Amino acid sequence: MEHETQHGFDVMAGEGGVPVKMWARGVPIDDRAREQLLRAAQMPFIFKHVAVMPDVHVGIGATVGSVIPTKNAIIPAAVGVDIGCGMMACRTTLTATDLPDSLGHLRSAIERAVPHGRTSGRRRDKGSWHDVPATSEVAWSGLKGRFDTITEKHKVIAQSNNLRHLGTLGTGNHFIEVCLDQEDRVWFMLHTGSRGVGNRIGRYFIELAKKDMEQWFINIPDKDLAYFPEGTDHFDDYVEAVEWAQDFAFANRTVMMQNVIAAARAVLSVPFDAEVEAVNCHHNYVSRENHFGENIFVTRKGAVRARKGDMGIIPGSMGTRSYIVRGLGNEDSFCSCSHGAGRVMSRTEAKKSVSMEEHLEAVKNVECRKDIGVLDETPSAYKSIDDVMEAQKDLVEIVHTLRQVVCVKG
């Protein structure tokens, strides 16, 4: 393995693969993540190089925090199973003085307005709608026709939570926050994706790709790098399904934001307007783009598009800062930036290594759940957001700095 340093990024190269350009100076990178990146770089259809963001860490198939450009092929596991996962934020006309001293009622109102969490077993999932609201029905009406076309060919996808998950949060690192910016203006911010239906689409096509590799006797450095070549039926069907799931995720965040704003209006005594400087961006997705003069597919696994002028969101953790950023259009990164701080501990490791007392101290200024069920999301499980932002200063510029005062977790 060879390393080379260039302006703004480091270059890593293994045998028989394209270079790996890494914007990760000053942040830790696990050796397993490096090995995983080099395996992806060996795939024969990678275009020019793999780009790595500072929040990089090990993922399934592809490394989280990686940008994988391809010609004539797509790797479904590089997109993952939370297809279209991303962020939405909007500034309101409220300021910090408009918020009540006790924020518990606001958090409760948001939790009532947006299903979150998950129920195991045969009981009704508390993270889905029991009675689907009009906002979700309206959004679904624009998605149903294409969904029916997809499920006519791949019937198992119909057996998923789709409409009942439209406008819901989920679990894990998904969240809804009320934040204050550098001028004490109030923002609403949320993080979620395509929920149950996107998970079903992702897992279904990942398995199809693996079967195709076996059928065609194609050897790959990692079975999770199984791919669809352009021109095959499964390629076309996957592109159709993944683009639909990305649209579902975008709509899911929009519906959630509408419901969060309505919930806040119901409990706050001050009338306000919202959707000022609204940003809605994916960070687990594939898109058709033109780079270095060629039309390619760009898969961002935990990365945000950051063309010159593009607005994006880079959250820290539930006890640190987040950023609204503007892209600088760095072509070497395929016009990308990080999607967050990135984990330094697995969920299991965080639960073993971090005490409840340490967690409570880290989130003492945030109105949020403070129980063992969110210990895996404790701030120390993530990299320093300051180091992450410093490492990518030639990818984005900071427009707003946010600090959360309310955080809702599933």
Rg (CA), the chain: 21
Q: Percentages helix, strand, coil for the chain, rounded to the nearest 5?
A: 35, 30, 35
- DSSP classification of residue 191: E
| Average pLDDT score over the chain | 94
Tell me if residue 57 is catalytic.
no
Q: What is the pLDDT of residue 124?
A: 66
Q: What is the dihedral of CA 228, 229, 230, 233, to 10 degrees?
A: -60
pLDDT digits (tens, 9 = 90+) for 219-248: 999 999 999 999 998 999 999 999 999 999
Q: What is the pLDDT of residue 90?
A: 97
| Active-site hit among 49, 283, 339, 359 | 339
Question: Which of 276, 272, 303, 271 shows the shortest CA–CA distance to 289?
Answer: 303
Complete domains list, the chain, with CATH = 2-344+382-409 (3.90.1860.10)
CA gap 178, 136 in Å, rounded: 22
CA gap 261, 273 in Å, rounded: 9
pLDDT digits (tens, 9 = 90+) for 361-375: 999 999 999 889 899
Low-confidence ranges of the chain (pLDDT < 50): none
The DSSP bridge pattern shows strands 50-57 and 20-22 to be: parallel
One DSSP character per residue, 348-399 reads HHHHHHS-HHHHHHHTTTSEE--SGGGGGG-GGGB--HHHHHHHTTTTEEEE
180 membership: H or E segment, kind and range = strand 175-180
Answer whether 284's CB lies under 8 Å from 80's CB: yes
Q: What is the pLDDT of residue 277?
A: 85
